[in-house]
């Protein structure tokens, strides 16, 4: 997990030790920055936000000479008067902006967060040495953290990966299981360091199509100390266990295990790889009683044991898969 910058972990605060006077809702809500206002400082750090010219070029290259240009978004940007003006993707939240790294053209996603947000705290923690080089850490590469202290804001600059986890190409069982393993391993890694993600879902898992998978979006995440016995209630994540649906409290780490089990089941359904051995593992993760769910590290151990029992022919069996956008 390579990075361009060293991030100062001393400025990262544990979310469980924030001042009691801190307005949790205020610092963790999505913010809507004035992107044009902060464009210069982002460019000074070596990053270029997409302009009207860039988006026009994207569509023209995508279509080629024979392609159709009857597209509402293309028509919209063609009517904009200034090719150098920033051109935000209307499909993204206001706190996100696409661009590229100037030195090599790497596609990036810039995310604006509050300086005291849980997301920045967790991102900085996982992206700083020595954690960033740990082989169990499958965070998306963070290229820079740009603090705008005058506005209590920071920009997280990361590589842009795809949420289209299942490509339109031959996919063998080995590739599928390695993707699942990466997700399990990363959640186990986060839990070992006191972090609960709390919004594990297909849309928050991305890939670079080079065999790397990552968890994104730490807006709901919590970071706990080694002596904490945390309980949560009222979480608004995508995959919620039954106790939270009933309005009860829960162990945040067991909430993650439930959500991860639900995601694995959905991935199996999308690919058609329904392995009885894997279903047994996910059934334990989806246990009605939270205390009966295994720890994420135990899930990883069970998964690795399952892999050793898969024959070579089945392991390398490939077949055409259908793309599923998540």
Q: What is the pLDDT of residues 55-96, one digit of tens each?
A: 888 877 776 655 556 677 667 777 777 889 999 888 899 999
Q: Which residue has the higher pLDDT, 166 or 90?
A: 90
Contacts of 265 (CB under 8 A, 6+ apart): 279, 282, 286
pLDDT on residue 91: 86
For residue 15, what pLDDT is reported? 41
> Mean pLDDT throughout 146-169?
88
Q: Quick one: pLDDT band at residue 217, thresholds 50, 70, 90? A: very high
Domains of the chain: 9-50+88-159 (3.30.200.20), 171-319 (1.10.510.10)
pLDDT of res. 137: 97
Structure tokens, 94: 């206001």
Give the range among 50-59, 68-77, 149-158, 243-252 with minimum mean pLDDT.
Answer: 68-77
The whole-number average pLDDT for the span 150-176 is 84
Q: Are 118 and 223 in contact (CB under 8 A)?
A: yes
The reported pLDDT for the residue numbered 24 is 79
Q: What mean pLDDT is predicted for residues 14-33?
A: 69
Average pLDDT value for residue range 167-184:
81
Cis peptide before 130 (omega within 30 of 0): yes
Taking 70 as the threshold, does the pLDDT of residue 3 lie above it? no
Q: How far apart are CA 36 and CA 31, in angstroms?
A: 15
- pLDDT band at residue 41 using 50, 70 and 90 as cut-offs: very high
Q: Per the structure block, which two tokens stand in for 320?
A: 């055409």
- The single residue listed with the structure tokens 């809500």 is 29
């Amino acid at each position: 997990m390579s990075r361009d910058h060293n991030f100062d972990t001393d400025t990262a605060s544990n979310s469980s030790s924030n001042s009691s006077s801190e307005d949790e809702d205020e610092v963790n809500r999505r913010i809507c920055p004035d992107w044009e206002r902060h464009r210069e400082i982002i460019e000074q750090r070596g990053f270029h936000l997409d302009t009207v010219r860039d988006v026009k070029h994207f569509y023209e290259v995508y279509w080629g000479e024979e392609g159709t240009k009857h597209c509402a978004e293309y028509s919209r940007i063609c009517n904009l008067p200034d090719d150098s003006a920033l051109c935000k993707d209307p499909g993204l939240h206001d706190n996100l902006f696409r661009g590229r790294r100037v030195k090599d053209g790497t596609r990036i996603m810039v995310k604006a967060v509050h300086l005291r947000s849980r997301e920045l705290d967790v991102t900085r923690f996982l992206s700083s040495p020595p954690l960033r080089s740990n082989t169990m850490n499958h965070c998306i590469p963070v290229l820079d953290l740009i603090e705008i202290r005058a506005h209590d804001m920071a920009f997280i600059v990361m590589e842009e990966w795809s949420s289209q986890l299942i490509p339109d190409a031959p996919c063998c069982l080995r590739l599928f299981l390695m993707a699942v393993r990466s997700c399990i391993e990363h959640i186990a890694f986060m839990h070992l360091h006191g972090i609960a993600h709390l919004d594990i879902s297909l849309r928050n898992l991305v890939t670079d199509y080079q065999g790397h998978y990552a968890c994104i979006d730490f807006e709901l995440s919590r970071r706990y100390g080694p002596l904490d016995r945390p309980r949560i209630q009222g979480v608004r994540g995508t995959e919620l266990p039954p106790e939270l649906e009933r309005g009860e409290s829960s162990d945040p780490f067991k909430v993650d295990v439930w959500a991860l089990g639900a995601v694995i089941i959905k991935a199996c359904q999308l690919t058609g790889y329904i392995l009885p051995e894997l279903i047994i593992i996910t059934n334990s993760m989806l246990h009605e009683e939270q205390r009966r769910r295994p720890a994420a590290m135990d899930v990883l151990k069970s998964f690795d044991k399952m892999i050793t029992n898969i024959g070579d022919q089945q392991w390398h069996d490939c077949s055409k898969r259908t793309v599923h956008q998540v």
